Amino acid sequence: MATHQRQPYLGTERKLVIAIDVGTTFSGVSYALLDPGRVPQIQPVAQFVGQREPRDDLKVPSVVCYSPDGIVVAAGAETDPETNHALAEMDNVIRVEW
């Protein structure tokens, strides 16, 4: 069984790489800083805006709430009206989820 070992970044400038996995129920985000000559280390995002506490599985709900005129008013953990009282007070919010 072959194993893949990450190689040092060969670029000449520091860069940020962000990976977003949008799933039907939950989504996740990871990132890596690319520093010249160093092996990149992938880091997960462990907490999102609106979450009460970090989840062990590093995911956020794949939910978006829109106003009637199509403006995003909340996404992910912010779509929980129990923690987002402003969302609970809005009229005619359109909740989109699987």
**Which pTM was predicted?**
0.70
pLDDT of 53 > 80? The answer is: no
Q: Does residue 2 lie within any of the structural domains?
A: no
Contact by Cβ (8 Å): 38, 8? yes
- Token pair for residue 28? 């996740």
Confidence of residue 55 (pLDDT cuts 50, 70, 90): low
pLDDT of 2 > 70? The answer is: no
Q: Does residue 82 lie within any of the structural domains?
A: yes
The domain of 33 spans 15-97
Q: Does residue 38 lie within any of the structural domains?
A: yes
What's the number of domains the chain is made of? 1
pLDDT of 54 > 70? The answer is: no
Phi/psi at 83 (5° precision) = -105, -25
